[in-house]
C-alpha cells in the first residue's frame, strides 16, 4: 500500500495567516491526490482533487499543488471557519485508498 505522510502534524495560526500543509507519498502517484477538511463531529469535506482542482463550492483561498511524491495544500488567508483537521489521500493506487495522518490547524 502507498503510505502518505503529512507535515506538520499540527500548526497554530492566526486569522489572515497563510498556511501551508505538505503531503508526501511513498511512491510516485502522479497528480492523483485529494485534500479533505474535517471539523470535530462532522463529515470530512472534499476540498481539492487531482492535486489542484478545486471542488465546487470551496473558497478560492484554498489551493493545491504538486505531483509525483510531494504535494501542498495552501490556505492563502486563514478564516475562522478554516480551523479544522486536514487530510490528504492518494487516488493513484486502488485499492486501498490511503490517507495521511492529518494536520490540525488551530488558533494561535
Partner 1 sequence: EVRLVEYGGGLVQPGGSLRLACSASGFTFSVFALHWVRQAPGKGLEHVSTISTNGNSTYYEDSVKGRFTISRDNSKNILYLQMSSLRVEDTAVYHCVKDGYAVAGTGSYLEYWGRGTRVIVSS
Q: Tell me the C-alpha distance between 34 and 30, whole Å.
A: 12
User: Closest approach of Cβ 90 to partner 1, in Å?
Assistant: 10
With CB under 8 A as the contact rule, which of the stretches 12-20, 29-37, 60-68, 73-81 interacts with partner 1?
29-37
Give 3-state DSSP helix, strand, coil % of the chain, rounded to 5.
Answer: 5, 50, 50
Closest alpha carbon to 7 in 53, 55, 64, 72: 72
Residues 37-96 that bind partner 1 (CB under 8 A): 41-46, 49-50, 55, 87, 89, 91-96
Binding-site ranges for partner 1 (CB under 8 A) = 32, 34, 36, 41-46, 49-50, 55, 87, 89, 91-102
Amino acid at each position: 500500500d502507498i503510505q502518505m505522510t503529512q507535515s506538520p502534524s499540527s500548526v497554530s495560526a492566526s486569522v489572515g495567516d497563510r498556511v501551508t500543509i505538505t503531503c508526501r507519498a511513498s511512491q510516485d502517484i502522479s497528480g492523483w491526490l485529494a485534500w479533505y477538511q474535517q471539523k470535530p463531529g462532522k463529515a470530512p469535506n472534499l476540498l481539492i482533487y487531482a492535486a489542484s482542482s478545486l471542488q465546487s463550492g470551496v473558497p478560492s483561498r484554498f489551493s493545491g499543488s504538486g505531483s509525483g511524491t510531494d504535494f501542498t495544500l495552501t490556505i492563502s488567508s486563514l478564516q475562522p471557519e478554516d480551523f479544522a483537521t486536514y487530510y490528504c489521500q492518494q487516488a493513484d493506487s486502488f485499492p486501498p485508498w490511503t490517507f495521511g495522518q492529518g494536520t490540525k490547524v488551530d488558533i494561535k
